[in-house]
């Protein structure tokens, strides 16, 4: 099983709403990632979890709050978002071997978020 | 920081060969990866080069020259399904996990 699943596929929310994005993998990977992708742009790294601990936060605003409940699950909690946060949110995972630099990343299909 | 440059668009016909170039400037180098992304889809891994030379995987090959800070992805026997965006990527500064992506090259394969 080389699949990363994400729910929901689409999400529309108002600026005062609280919602969560979910990501799951069953490949035994120990590193998980959140990326944000705007139309016709490359994915941009937001957060990295390694062995369920947050290892990288790329200066993401606090209205985005990641959580890694266990090694298979990754959540992104959203609160008080702005319209400019509308984008495709991609989850990825990798084995996280020593250094991790050569690890293949496996991406989920993404959640397309629209903030009204 | 990390900087990767790619052409924004490339057009080719079915059965042809196309090369997508990537030049990079990085603080430390830990290898160059290539990912494919179809419209509405997720990025999928194509290849990884840590050392100079050519890596071949079926119809796709990837080349790296570390001395020139340059790599390319070569797609042979193009098929319509190869129409997609192609990204080169490197680990972010310090060789940490995750990826910094180039701006992407949109490949359009025509009949």
pLDDT in tens, B44-87: 999 999 899 999 989 999 999 999 999 999 999 999 999 999 99
Rounded mean pLDDT, A69-73: 94
pLDDT of residue A98: 60
- Two structure tokens written together for A47: 């957060």
More confident residue, B3 or A77: A77
- CB distance A108–B42 less than 8 Å? yes
Residue B94 has pLDDT above 70, yes or no: no
Nearest to A60 by CA among A80, A46, A81, A79: A46
Average pLDDT, chain B: 92
More confident residue, A78 or A50: A78
Rounded CA separation A82/A73 (Å): 26
- CB distance B45–A104 less than 8 Å? yes
Rounded CA separation A33/A92 (Å): 5
- Two structure tokens written together for B68: 């020139």
Most confident stretch, B8-12, B26-30, B45-49: B8-12
pLDDT of residue A25: 97
Nearest to A100 among B87, B97, B104 (CB): B97
- CB distance A99–B95 less than 8 Å? yes
- Say if A65 is an interface residue toward chain B (CB within 8 Å): no
Average pLDDT, chain A: 91
Region class of B33: left (phi > 0), else alpha (psi between -120 and 50), else beta: beta
Cα-based distances in Å from A109 to A4, A9, A10, B13, B48? 8, 8, 11, 28, 22
Rounded CA separation A34/A28 (Å): 17
């Amino acid at each position: 099983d080389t699949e990363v699943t994400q729910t929901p596929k689409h999400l529309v929310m108002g600026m005062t709403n609280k919602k969560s994005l979910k990501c799951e993998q069953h490949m035994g990977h120990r590193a998980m990632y959140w990326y944000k992708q705007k139309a016709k742009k490359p994915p941009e790294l937001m957060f990295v979890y390694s062995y369920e601990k947050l290892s990288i936060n790329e200066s993401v605003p606090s209205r985005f709050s990641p959580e890694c409940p266990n090694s298979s699950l990754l959540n992104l909690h959203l609160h008080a978002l702005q319209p400019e946060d509308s984008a495709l949110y991609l989850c990825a995972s990798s084995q996280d071997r020593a250094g991790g630099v050569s690890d293949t990343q496996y991406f989920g299909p993404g959640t397309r978020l629209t903030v009204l | 920081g990390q900087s990767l440059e790619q052409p924004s668009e490339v057009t080719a016909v079915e059965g042809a060969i196309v090369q997508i170039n990537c030049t990079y400037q990085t603080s430390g180098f830990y290898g160059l990866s290539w990912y494919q992304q179809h419209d509405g889809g997720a990025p999928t891994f194509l290849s990884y080069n840590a050392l100079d030379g050519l890596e071949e995987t079926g119809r796709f090959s990837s080349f790296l020259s570390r001395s020139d800070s340059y790599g390319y992805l070569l797609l042979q026997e193009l098929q319509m399904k190869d129409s997609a965006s192609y990204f080169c990527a490197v680990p972010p500064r310090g060789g940490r996990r995750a990826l910094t992506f180039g701006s992407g090259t949109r490949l359009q394969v025509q009949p």
